[in-house]
Amino acid sequence: MSDDEIRKAWEGNPMLKPKIEKVVVNLSVGKSGEPLEKAAGVLKELTGQTPCKRKAKQTIRDFGIRKGESIACIVTLRNQDAIEFLNKVLPVIDRKIAKRSFDKNGSFSFGLKEHIEIRGVKYDPDVGIFGMDVCVAMIRPGYRVKNRRREKSKIGSKHILTPEESMVFVKDTLRVEIV
C-alpha cells in the first residue's frame, strides 16, 4: 500500500488513523546512589515529571550489579507532553529514524548518546553526561478492548497497526524522515 492510499483510507475512516499512545524515556546508569540521583534530576528537568526508579533483574558480577539494586530511572509521557518531548529530542537525531527501528506493531525506538545535545540544556560538570533510550508506542483508536479490565477482546486482523502505516503517520505528524 502506498503512502497516498494509506492517507486516503484514514480520511475515509478516522478509526484507522494511528496515534501516539505513550513515550517512555529510559535513562540507565548501571549503579545506584549518587549517579542515579543525578540521572533522575536530569530526567525530571527534561520531562517535567518525577522519574520512577527501576531495579536490576539479575546479578551481573562483571559490572558490579546486584539483583534488586536500583540502576535506572524511567518516565512515561502521554498525550501533548509526549508530542512536546518528541519535538524537543528529534532534532538531536536530525529528525531521521531508521526503518529497522519500527517493530511489527508500528512502535519505534531511538537513542540519544548525550542529553546535552538537546536544545536548551547546558552542560553541568557536577551532573555529567547521560544517554537515554526513547520508546514510542503507537496505537489505533479501538485498541482499548485489548487492555480493558472487563470483557477483554481481541483486535481484528484488519485493524492491527502495520509498520508502514506508523511510518506514514510519523512522517506527517512529526516531520521525520525514514532512512
pLDDT of residue 4: 86
What number is the average pLDDT over the span 102-113?
92
The number of distinct structural domains making up the chain is: 1
**Containing domain of residue 85, as a range?**
3-178
Cα–Cα distance for residue pair 146/116, rounded to 1 Å: 39
Q: Above pLDDT 70, what percent of the chain? A: 100
Residue 1: pLDDT above 80? no
pLDDT of residue 60: 84
- Taking the CB of residue 99, how many other CB atoms lie within 10 A of it? 11
pLDDT band (50, 70, 90) for residue 147: confident
pLDDT of residue 136: 94
pLDDT of residue 24: 95
Q: Is the pTM of this model over 0.95?
A: no
Contact 138, 162 (CB under 8 A): no
CATH number, domain at 132?
3.30.1440.10
Q: What is the pLDDT of residues 24-52, one digit of tens each?
A: 999 988 777 888 888 888 889 888 899 99
Which strand (E) or helix (H) includes residue 36? Answer: helix 34-47
What number is the average pLDDT over the span 53-72?
86
Q: Computed from CA positions of residues 158, 154, 12, 138, in that sequence, does the dihedral angle turn out positive or negative?
A: negative
pLDDT band (50, 70, 90) for residue 122: confident
Q: Above pLDDT 90, what percent of the chain? A: 39
pLDDT band (50, 70, 90) for residue 55: confident
